[in-house]
Amino acid sequence: MISIKKRLFLILFMMLTMTAKAQITFPELDVKMKREPKNIVIFISSERCAYCLMQEKRLKNNHTLNGRLNSEVYFVAWKVDEQKKIIFNGKPYISGMEFIREFNKGETGFPFWIIFDKNYQVVYTYAGLMQNSSLMKMLDAVQ
């Protein structure tokens, strides 16, 4: 029989693993899209942005949302302060703002959300702090 401590440890480990798997990198995204195309959710943030930090905290604390981001779409969280240059769908970008300008619909600022379909077509963009309930509805809409 498994002790209570072991059960709690297993539950905590599963929750942390699920949260950690939800986020992938741009190089991983290219590989995964070739194997199994899915919709893509990109969350662009900056360390100097208070709203970005609030958004990250909300995301980390919602295990249901993390589970959906892990299983239903490819979720990329891009901190533009840490990783300046990326390659997305075979095209290099030298900054987060260059990437945002390429795909936005007139919106700019951080945090910035972009949703792509399986064919790398923009489905949705949003600039600003988003409620978790709105993120869940957004995931429902792109399925």
Task: Report pLDDT for 10.
Answer: 38
For residue 42, count CB atoms less than 10 angstroms from its CB and return exposed for 0-12, middle for 13-18, buried for 19 or more: buried
For the stretch 61-81, pLDDT in tens is 999 998 999 899 999 999 988
DSSP secondary structure letter of residue 95: S
Task: Report pLDDT for 101.
Answer: 84
Tokens of residue 99, six digits: 């990437």
Report percent pLDDT > 90 for the chain: 55
pLDDT at 50 over 70: yes
Q: Among 31-35, 117-121, 138-142, where is mean pLDDT lowest?
A: 138-142
Taking Cα atoms as reference points, which of 59, 64, 39, 42 lies closest to residue 113? 42
pTM for the structure as a whole = 0.80
